[in-house]
Structure 1
């Protein structure tokens, strides 16, 4: 039975509602990686998006005003928006609590940062039930395929089944899945694992993540077994069969490459060049998070300046940190550590007319970020662990002169695809990173072009639409083109929220 409509379910809706400069409520598109990836997929295809609006607007707006803003958002995005309302306690314990104080650090191999508060689990379960109710109310078994996304919503399919609601469902995990010795630390490991097995298809970013999941299932649910080969396997349990696949997420390569060539981006890139002349620019762009490895990266850059004096005055690092969870003490401490390191390194190495690190702590708009992608010759992307890291792919897509160098962590999901063209580093190896920074800065033009051409070909071939088609083919034996499509409006791409 063919699905006629694709319903995406994620923690956040694809829009942001807030007050503009004149105090008027306004709607703007979301800037998260999922919106970047799936916006072009749902647009003008009759699709819909279910998610939380990101704030408790019900207390500030009447229903008519909220409905009007949602209608405006639907017109601008090109697909229907269905909100899930959360209370303040639910936001704190489901989102900040279970999702970001338990699952996020645990799935990134940092169990010492977990806070296994039992009340978090109860509210996480409660909120997933809320999402399941909204899915049930806005979809049908005959029409819809419900594609649920990421670690905040693992229990949705389980709650649909408990409600007696039959839906075709798929789940995609955007972050890594931990190895067995990490996962078993989770007090609710059986509930999480069995909930994942209630989906018809579970997708992971990499073969490593799928292997970790399979190890957990074999150990904790020993009556299960796996059959098949390739990027989609079948998991056989006593109750049902489930498909388990690897689907590395990507970007809309064509849109990024074309927008990077526009005059407005070129003009902004020229200003950056003019302000930082006669030097190679290294770019780091990250959301404020302890998984991104920013302090170690700064130490590696300092080590490179110390051990390779030829880099001084000829190289600058532009480190952009996008604010995130500033109200959490751990993140505020990380911000302070980054700022201390930047000040210490600049104080040590700065000379007249040259500052080694240019630190930016704010979000960049679309044109600014594209301009930095265009201007900087080297991207330094060194997470301690990442599900994929779309920034690496965006940088390559925007390197339209094929003159960029990508330095990439071994522990980014993107490494599985990009390791042939990137310079790979272990983010815990400060001197090793420093050596690779020097190698990138002294690389010949011919080698840069050869490597970047290889990277761009791969990303262009395995773009966002191939990712969607691979998942939908495995899920419902359909390509994207088989869903209803109206005349397409193609907007400017929205870069990933780092």
Structure 2
């Protein structure tokens, strides 16, 4: 393999543990090839000229980190209004929350052109290029237009919606056609691959070729599911560190007479948080034996606080938490502990390990790695139970979890009750199967499988 070039919206130093498992996994491949990681610097220059940006370079061992500053107009159009204001809600099936009239698509295209221009000057003929996520879908098409002929792959970390939802996007044909500038497109789940196949056939009149190929515009594109995983060994090592153990021991002491349920995610309308709290309230109403004994710790990290939809969601969660505590709480027991702040990653394994049940119930999610982290953190002798939404990409792999429809709060409450009452032998059996699967299909397996598939595609001049 030639040099690996990774492009993502944000760049992280792979040597730093706080960067997370994905950065570490990519970093290993980048280090092996003396690679390049390219993206936005995170800096916004006030008063700058749209379509221009200063390039910054930093060396992280053998890996070169290259970033580009964005002016305020470019950042707001590309990142806030189009990537997060249009693509994110549509790809998560929330057409009602998309700002289709924001006029942001020109800024989205302009920043992808800017990135392509700055990146082209750094590329070598034998580079292997791997582009990540919805912010950068048209990047390969811009590079091809500038004459770049390297092998290029793309991975979408969020869900790909059905064709009719995609068709609601302004200029959806341009966006989806631009994927054909890649040699390989990776999606999180087989359901996502099915959605792409239907769109490609119905909207682009593409022709299926072989097991994974779609031919259109003079090019055959390979599209496959590559479900992303976690670094199981790295996360289990965190579980043994002092911060996680202190968290675990503290919760065990504080809740010695309680059964803990836990939910951990970013505050986002895709995560199904109101539905989860309503299901927990139904649990307390329908199964009164949980009164005084079951406590839900719900962590919802701050996210996009200035956006109306997120502010409304926060208000709804605070209202629901207060109502449940008011209806069911006692002097010595608060059924819901709602925490609206970040919790250090080093402490999370201790929280997971102390919980009897994890509630991972998004309305739609590309994968959801919290589900896999919970499994990795468990004591195999006395493991907790994973209650998982069937609408998370992880549900295709984690069949031994209790799969639920988060819109059906009554049935979700029944599943939570089953989890709380599950015999030890069944919990151990389910956990063993889940742990084996996340270990076999970990983040390193994901990286190697994608890169092997990309290398296997023929490099050829693109006409897109």
Gapped runs of 5+ residues in structure 2? 49-54, 458-464
Gapped runs of 5+ residues in structure 1? 17-26, 61-65, 479-498
SS in 2 for 1:55: strand
How far apart are residue 118 of structure 1 and its match?
A: 5.8
How far apart are residue 117 of structure 1 and its match?
A: 2.8
Structure-to-structure mapping, 1:29-44, within 5 angstroms: 31=19, 34-35=22-23, 37-43=25-31
Which of 149, 155, 172 is matched with 1:166 structurally?
A: 149
How far apart are residue 173 of structure 1 and its match?
A: 0.6
Q: 1:17-71 deviations in whole A, cap 9, x for unaligned?
A: xxxxxxxxxx9776567436534443465222111122327999xxxxx969x44
Measured in 1, the distance between the counterparts of 2:235 and 2:157 equals 21
TM-score w.r.t. the length of structure 2 is 0.92
User: Could you tell me which residue of structure 2 aligns to residue 14 of structure 1?
Assistant: 12
User: Could you tell me which residue of structure 2 aligns to residue 298 of structure 1?
Assistant: 277
Measured in 2, the distance between the counterparts of 1:119 and 1:172 equals 26
From the superposition, tell whether residues 32 and 178 of structure 1 become closer, same or farther in structure 2 (CA, over 3 Å): farther
Measured in 2, the distance between the counterparts of 1:464 and 1:263 equals 25
Measured in 2, the distance between the counterparts of 1:31 and 1:282 equals 27
User: Could you tell me which residue of structure 2 aligns to residue 124 of structure 1?
Assistant: 108
User: Could you tell me which residue of structure 2 aligns to residue 152 of structure 1?
Assistant: 135
From the superposition, tell whether residues 110 and 32 of structure 1 become closer, same or farther in structure 2 (CA, over 3 Å): farther
Measured in 2, the distance between the counterparts of 1:263 and 1:120 equals 46
Which of 174, 183, 186 is matched with 1:203 structurally?
A: 186
From the superposition, tell whether residues 301 and 321 of structure 1 become closer, same or farther in structure 2 (CA, over 3 Å): same
Structure-to-structure mapping, 1:378-397, within 5 angstroms: 378-397=357-376
From the superposition, tell whether residues 264 and 183 of structure 1 become closer, same or farther in structure 2 (CA, over 3 Å): closer
Structure-to-structure mapping, 1:401-480, within 5 angstroms: 401=380, 403-419=383-399, 421-477=400-456
From the superposition, tell whether residues 449 and 306 of structure 1 become closer, same or farther in structure 2 (CA, over 3 Å): same
From the superposition, tell whether residues 105 and 264 of structure 1 become closer, same or farther in structure 2 (CA, over 3 Å): closer
Measured in 1, the distance between the counterparts of 2:164 and 2:32 equals 45
Measured in 2, the distance between the counterparts of 1:284 and 1:197 equals 38
SS in 1 for 2:5: strand
TM-score w.r.t. the length of structure 1 is 0.86
Measured in 2, the distance between the counterparts of 1:246 and 1:276 equals 41
Measured in 1, the distance between the counterparts of 2:207 and 2:329 equals 60
1:94 aligns with 2:78: yes
Which of 203, 209, 212 is matched with 1:227 structurally?
A: 209
Which of 45, 53, 56 is matched with 2:41 structurally?
A: 53
User: Could you tell me which residue of structure 1 aligns to residue 343 of structure 2?
Assistant: 364
1:276 aligns with 2:260: no
User: Could you tell me which residue of structure 2 aligns to residue 496 of structure 1?
Assistant: none
Moved more, 401-410 or 426-435: 401-410
From the superposition, tell whether residues 31 and 283 of structure 1 become closer, same or farther in structure 2 (CA, over 3 Å): farther
Moved more, 385-394 or 82-91: 82-91
SS in 1 for 2:253: helix
- Whether the 8 Å contact between 1:409 and 1:425 is mirrored in structure 2 is yes
Q: 1:331-365 deviations in whole A, cap 9, x for unaligned?
A: 11111111111111111111122110111111111
- Whether the 8 Å contact between 2:47 and 2:72 is mirrored in structure 1 is no
User: Could you tell me which residue of structure 1 aligns to residue 460 of structure 2?
Assistant: none
RMSD value, Cα: 2.2
Measured in 2, the distance between the counterparts of 1:277 and 1:342 equals 22
- Whether the 8 Å contact between 2:243 and 2:347 is mirrored in structure 1 is no
Measured in 2, the distance between the counterparts of 1:348 and 1:36 equals 45
Aligned residues: 450
SS in 1 for 2:436: helix
User: Could you tell me which residue of structure 2 aligns to residue 179 of structure 1?
Assistant: 162
Measured in 2, the distance between the counterparts of 1:161 and 1:33 equals 31
Which of 62, 71, 89 is matched with 1:105 structurally?
A: 89
From the superposition, tell whether residues 279 and 152 of structure 1 become closer, same or farther in structure 2 (CA, over 3 Å): same
